[in-house]
Amino acid sequence: MIYAIGDIHGCKNALEDLLIQLPLKEEDEVVFLGDYIDRGPDSKGVVEYLLKNRRPNWRFLRGNHEQMLLEWLGTPNAQTAGNWLLNGGHQTLQSYVPAKNLDELRGEGAHMILQSHIHPFHAEFYNSLPYTYETADYYFCHAGINLDNPLNAQDPDDLLWIRRKFLEDPRPTPKLVIHGHTPIEKVDLTRDRINLDTGCVYGGFLTALSLPEKKIYQTKQT
């Protein structure tokens, strides 16, 4: 069995409750679709929990929010910082950096301060995240795919950011695509692309999907 889990966004309590709810067996795979951080109350706690409890068959994909964090740490110019901070980066900063040091994050060396408070294991985790995971029947990614390109030639920007061009494209997908990124109220299991971002951080649900049976599991942040 494969279980796919949608956008977590710092909702550690919901993540813990969801994983307890899943009837996981030793041979089952779990695919996390990215966006572990930003906006929610405990981004650092989410990553710590995943690293502490992960199993060999757990697969972690990169989301656009992890990408924004990495870009800010690597090239901390004003535009990069602004993009990340406006998209929930402030909450991630607050989870990593002691309150007494938060004011220093407004300065030119802010990325160095954050780097000093991110555990090396966390930094390694963010940098190691792949964009996709693929099986004979399923294609997992964060945002979706560009149907103008074959699966083996997808642009990373599309895998992390695409929305309407993918969601509204009437052409069939080569495989069942499991993704997140675009918040929805209810999961549609009838299409050849299944979105599991049900807006947990906005008061919705954190959602998991089992494959091939297509059973939905959901929890809320408490």
Query: Residue 191 above 60 pLDDT?
Result: yes
Residue pLDDT, tens place only, 99-130? 666 665 555 556 666 777 788 899 899 999 99
In 3D space, the residue among 4, 160, 180 whose CA is nearest the CA of residue 70 turns out to be 160
CATH number at residue 124: 3.60.21.10
Q: What is the pLDDT of residue 168?
A: 96
Residue pLDDT, tens place only, 10-28? 999 999 999 999 999 999 9
Q: What is the pLDDT of residue 18?
A: 97
Residue pLDDT, tens place only, 125-169? 999 999 999 999 999 999 999 999 999 999 999 999 999 999 999
> Is the Cβ–Cβ distance between 84 and 68 less than 8 Å?
yes
Q: What is the pLDDT of residue 13?
A: 97
Token duo for residue 176: 């069942």
Q: What is the pLDDT of residue 109?
A: 58
Residue pLDDT, tens place only, 30-40? 999 999 999 99
Distances (CA, A) of 221 to 12, 130, 196: 8, 27, 16
Task: Return the bridge partners of 5, or none.
Answer: 32, 208
> Is the Cβ–Cβ distance between 148 and 134 less than 8 Å?
no
Query: Residue 180 above 70 pLDDT?
Result: yes
Q: How many domains does the chain have?
A: 1
Mean pLDDT of 87-100: 82
Domain range for residue 119?
2-219
> Is the Cβ–Cβ distance between 35 and 65 less than 8 Å?
yes
State the pLDDT confidence band at 52, using cuts at 50, 70 and 90: very high
- 215-219 and 206-211 beta bridge pairing: antiparallel
DSSP for 175-216 reads SEEEE-SS--SS---SSSEEE---BGGGTSBEEEEEETTTEE
Tell me the whole-structure pTM to 2 decimals.
0.93
Cβ neighbour number for residue 148 with a 10 Å cutoff = 12
Mean pLDDT of 195-217: 97
The count of C-alpha atoms lying within 13 angstroms of the C-alpha of 31, restricted to the half-sphere facing its C-beta, is 25
> Is the Cβ–Cβ distance between 111 and 77 less than 8 Å?
no
Residue pLDDT, tens place only, 56-90? 999 999 999 999 988 877 765 656 666 787 888 88
